[in-house]
Chains A and B, each alone.
Chain A
């Protein structure tokens, strides 16, 4: 199958959407599909053969924040040329309402077009439904994918319509086996991962629960991995308990898997702001038993069973759940097993197949993606300009 993927955000900058599209392309290529990715990038050189630069992006103020977007004659011309030359069976645009390459691609093409709606948090970066341009884009999408239940809800409120939920993929195998930190996993040790001074990450809830856990599990300890001011974090704890905490500091991406594999119990006390909870899927893949706050996004990822949940921001309840998990090894190993089962849903192998099923359901055989010239004077001008 010939698949065209469009990324609205600058390929040279790091970001979740870029990583997702990169991995998606790799898995399609591995299955023998013909894939080409179009994204804004500073240079045409130095890219693999499956990548096409849509031209440089420009920094503009958009809804109060600075965003790097691609627009103008150059990108429009490149998008049209790309659609014309590749003769795709299906066009898959990411974040189609982002006013950048994705929107231009939908604008310029007709046929089987699928859109994936990502973030429920970066709404400032997308158009609103009332906008005439957004309306045209939505009308041309034959299939809509949301990456999580909460993203789906946000976009249904925002633009309406019918979405299928296909989560972001992770490579389970990369997390499942490999090194652990020396001396770990240590019995009765808890792992926290994330920015340590950011209250949304909820370390303060865990700190408040720790003395209560220590009353029943005297040798409980806490491993904290993440950037931030450790002394500030430690001040939340009574002095006699401070020896229980060890700070690992900032953890590089390559060390994340090893750190998660080293967890006796992984705790995610996040108090909000999570739209997907990819860290929980990684923890499940690494075989870490999970204790997490009952945020809707977390409950959805864990399917209410693959982790032990406590009432959000309730240290008392967290302490109760932690004691249960730490004192009964059968609960801990059951959580581990259920996590490993559950995470299969998020494995790239499964996710890739689901996305291919979406493609199949919008394709009706013969007609592929064509350039759309109808009523698009600007597009015609750009085309004649290019020739």
Chain B
């Protein structure tokens, strides 16, 4: 009689410890996942911001009048299309990257006075960096979301799946 009780107590205790460990694991995993989502959101916001800042610098380059009228027209159109769209449009951003490269190349690497040229280089670099870091964050977060417990215990809640973005972000070859 007494022996049976002891076994019951042991069994209960073991089950309790296991539950506690599982709970701890789940809590930690949920915390990690949350951190990854925060990082992804920050990276996405950063990319959008860097796209906007790049467009501003390009607009400044146009107003400075250093480059030829055809290039001004082409870049102006790309900027206008960008302004007309209310959401992040990767296709437009990619077209702008491509066009910028062509225009810079056609001007042998110099499209503005030194200071603005530097700003443009920075703006294009930042777009490229933010793009890479966003995809890095998306990949890591996605890999985590596909884990067994997260997938089937709903640890991610209703948070949308992060997605990698694809567009042309290669910086132009600016001299100086």
Contacts and interface: CB of A to CB of B under 8 A. Distances in A.
Contact of B31 (A164, A358, A367, A375): A375
B136 A162 contact: yes
Interface stretch (A6-14, A140-148, A189-197, A301-309): A140-148
Given A357-B122, A361-B129, A140 B43 contact: no
A110 B34 CA distance: 12
A363 B46 contact: yes
B31 A361 contact: no
A139 B130 contact: no
A139 B129 contact: no
B31 A357 contact: no
B46 A358 contact: no
Interface in A57-71: none
Contacts of B118: 353
Nearest to B41: A364
A47 interface: no
B126 A142 contact: no
A48 interface: no
B122 A353 contact: yes
Contacts of A143: 129, 133
A362 interface: yes
Given A357-B122, A361-B129, A374-B31, A142 B140 contact: no
Interface residues of B, number: 29
A1 interface: no
Interface residues of A, number: 27
Interface in B15-74: 27-28, 31-32, 35-36, 39, 42-43, 45-46, 49-50
A375 B126 CA distance: 33
A374 B130 contact: no
B140 A360 contact: no
A161 interface: yes
Interface string B115-136: 0001001100111111011011
Q: Which 10 A-B pairs have the closest CB atoms?
A: A361-B129, A361-B130, A162-B136, A357-B125, A361-B126, A162-B132, A364-B45, A357-B126, A364-B42, A143-B133
